[in-house]
Structure 1
């Protein structure tokens, strides 16, 4: 996180409220209602009592006293959670606090951790340090976890890719994982949010990834000169939302090669059929499928 986004300790506030597990999963994904705030709150979900798996707690960290509008928005996202508890955090770094809840993850060969958990990393793991930030994709949401698992699975099954695009890159984690699995491939990471691309560049430096090894682009879908220049791709990853996936199906199909694979995530199981139909219209059929909670991860393949 760059200095211009770093809140001062004296300006840090925390909003705590209870919710269901389903609400926690939705809130810690991409929530357009929260993205409207500048800056949006950083959210941490945790399960206080393992004996009560449906009772979760959300902590929202913000710069300065939270507005009535933000509190009202948070309450609509967890309507059964009661009144939130609002407190000022004295002499505390809210990002460090939030990172303490982001436990390390082992997903296939990948080990994803924050600086607070940089010890005890397995020697055989492909490690990435990804901090809590204003970009989606620390690895803790089931869609990101599923995409990492799908990438690991495809490589183990012998898939080989030479030109890879991560659309909706967030923190850059999926682009980093692709580079680790297919080190000779060209990699491109794009996101509609310039902040996400800045965070991806910072994460590249943190993880020792050379600046020229991944092309970065701010793009609405695949509408950017850098994407057109590098197309056609033989692997395209898109962990976004069902509506945008359906809308982007024709433009995704236009930038992939014959025989290419597309990994789709961010859709709910109830939205899967509509997404599959949108891509089937362009000759893309199921190659592999995973599911984490309510979130399917689809690998589609175009015929050679």
Structure 2
């Protein structure tokens, strides 16, 4: 799921302790906050495995938060606003620090690790440095998409032309190419830093960049209006691990870009948001093929109907 970014040194965060339901409600509220700064990054997670209902809610920004900044975060909480405080982070990349020493992620036949872990030749493996943009496989939505892609392949789905919208590190596009190595593949993201990240990861994982089959062509685009995406459509697999709001807004555009009987893999939506997302895609001409729930997050595999 897009949302985390490579952060500069000397960052700050606004942090507070919350319950799990309060954290989930605030995540939804932030998604629909019209004036939310694009460079503020929101995370929420449980404090410890043996305390599943105790969560921490954090907002990362690259300057010392003002009283108005803290008030903006407080507004995400309706009647149960936590006590929020500002904390200065060490002079280091907070994504790297937060993921340092994390174990590899295993999802289906896939294994995603950082360079400091040993390889496993029995798995379909990817090396993604922890210091990069969001999409290292640690988030439940990314791991869920990997598992769903593996399920699609095991179910006999054949893919010749795929796209990954909001690609981040390029992980899901690369994973799909490993499963369908003769496919044409396109990846896009709104963040221009991702172009270099994807290029580095293709090289690190021994994969090719470019327009030919078996290679990944990367572009920077907001939505589906970009000429490259339009030229390479229709896709028989479209992956979008973003957020529920944009997924709903893009339903018709995605439908226009997916071939008859084509597949779409959606993630980045909380389970509580699933009904609204499915309703939008049902209206756009898709039916549910399979769904998974990973933690609080839904992963949806939909297929385009051939007739209304």
- Alignment TM-score > 0.5, same fold: yes
| Alpha-carbon separation, structure 1, partners of 2:248 and 2:208 | 34
Structure 1 residues 128-157: Cα deviation after superposition (integer angstroms, max 9, x where no partner): 233445743232222222211110111111
SS of alignment partner, residue 224 of structure 2: coil
Q: Report 1:225-244 matches (<5 A).
A: 225-244=227-246
Kept in 2: contact 1:236–1:256 (CA 8 A):
yes
1:275–1:7 CA distance, 2 compared to 1 (3 A): closer
CA shift for structure 1 position 102? 4.2
Kept in 1: contact 2:95–2:132 (CA 8 A):
no
CA shift for structure 1 position 252? 1.4
| Alpha-carbon separation, structure 1, partners of 2:216 and 2:169 | 13
1:36–1:163 CA distance, 2 compared to 1 (3 A): same
| Alpha-carbon separation, structure 1, partners of 2:66 and 2:231 | 44
Is 1:82 the equivalent of 2:83? yes
Is 1:57 the equivalent of 2:71? no
| Alpha-carbon separation, structure 1, partners of 2:89 and 2:295 | 34
Kept in 2: contact 1:18–1:81 (CA 8 A):
yes
Match of 1:114 in 2: 114
Match of 1:99 in 2: 99
CA shift for structure 1 position 112? 1.6
Match of 2:143 in 1: 145
Work out the number of aligned pairs and report it. Answer: 293
Kept in 2: contact 1:290–1:296 (CA 8 A):
yes
| Alpha-carbon separation, structure 2, partners of 1:65 and 1:84 | 11
Of 127-136 and 206-215, more deviation after overlay is shown by 127-136
Match of 1:36 in 2: 37
Match of 1:181 in 2: 179
Kept in 2: contact 1:14–1:89 (CA 8 A):
no
Over the residues paired in the alignment, what is the CA RMSD in angstroms?
3.2
Kept in 1: contact 2:233–2:258 (CA 8 A):
yes
| Alpha-carbon separation, structure 2, partners of 1:29 and 1:206 | 35
CA shift for structure 1 position 281? 3.1
Kept in 2: contact 1:99–1:131 (CA 8 A):
no
Is 1:205 the equivalent of 2:212? no
Match of 1:271 in 2: 273
Match of 1:259 in 2: 261
Of 234-243 and 153-162, more deviation after overlay is shown by 234-243
SS of alignment partner, residue 273 of structure 1: helix
Match of 2:167 in 1: 169
| Alpha-carbon separation, structure 2, partners of 1:121 and 1:290 | 28
Structure 2 unmatched runs, 5+: 1-5
| Alpha-carbon separation, structure 2, partners of 1:197 and 1:209 | 15
Provide runs of 4+ in structure 1 moved above 6 Å.
25-30
Match of 2:3 in 1: none
| Alpha-carbon separation, structure 1, partners of 2:275 and 2:188 | 26
